Structures are given as C-alpha cells and as structure tokens.
Amino acid sequence: MNKIQSAILWGQADNLMSVPTDCDQRDERKGWMGDAQLTSNEALYNYDIVSFYQSWLLDIADAQSSDGSVPDTTPLTFGSQQGDPSWGSAYPTIVQRLYQHYGTIDTINLHINNLESWVQHLNN
C-alpha cells in the first residue's frame, strides 16, 4: 500500500505545474478541465493545495465567455471555448471540493456569480 501511495503522490505532483495537467508523456500539458475534476479530491487529500486550485479557479473565471460557457482547457490553449458540459463541470466541482476540504465559503462567494452564469448557459 505504501508503494501505491508513493506512486500516487509522484504522479499527482508531476501533473500540478501551475495548472492541473494530464499525460505529460503524451504532451498533454494543458489544464484539461475534466481530468482536473477527477483528480482534485485525491490531490486535496494528499497536499495542502488550496492556493493552487484557487488560482486555477480564477483562470477559469477569466476564461469564461460572456454567455457563461467555459472552455475545455483553462487557460484556453486547446479544445473549444464552449467546452463539453462534462468537462466544464470541473468548475463547480472543484469549488465544492475546496469547501468540503477546507470548510470556508470564501471560494463559493467569489465564484457564485460565474457558476450561476455557467448553469444558465447550460439551460439555454
């Protein structure tokens, strides 16, 4: 179990370089939203990484279009501006996970308007 946990820590650390990345060996060094939400819970359990995710959430808010859509990657370097809803759900998911792990509502308060805009976009 210790070797598995060590591999998890090394793998996660290798993919947290200013944005959460995926598959560096395949040159996928982009902030893929879907991959980030899948690994965020694990990263929050293993690292004190609140500042990292708070910074990236600001990147998502900055990349959000006026119609409320969010891109597939943040910052937008690949994919489409109107990202797939399953990828865009990283935005509310990571906000929720920060609340669950740290118990403060500051991040929710900061992003609530953007999150509401994203939900309205999905409803259109």
Domain boundaries, position 85: 2-123
Read off the pTM.
Answer: 0.88
Could you read off the pLDDT of 46-101 as tens digits, one per residue? 999 999 999 999 999 999 999 999 998 888 776 656 777 888 999 999 999 999 99
Q: Which tokens is 42 given?
A: 């694990």
> Given a cut of 70, is residue 24 above it in pLDDT?
no
Question: What pLDDT, on the 0 to 100 scale, is given for residue 51?
Answer: 93
- Cα 22 to Cα 14: distance, rounded to the nearest angstrom: 9
Domains in the chain, number: 1
69 with 53: CB under 8 angstroms?
no
- Cα 66 to Cα 12: distance, rounded to the nearest angstrom: 33
> Given a cut of 70, is residue 27 above it in pLDDT?
no
* Residue 26 burial (10 A CB sphere; 0-12, 13-18, 19+): exposed
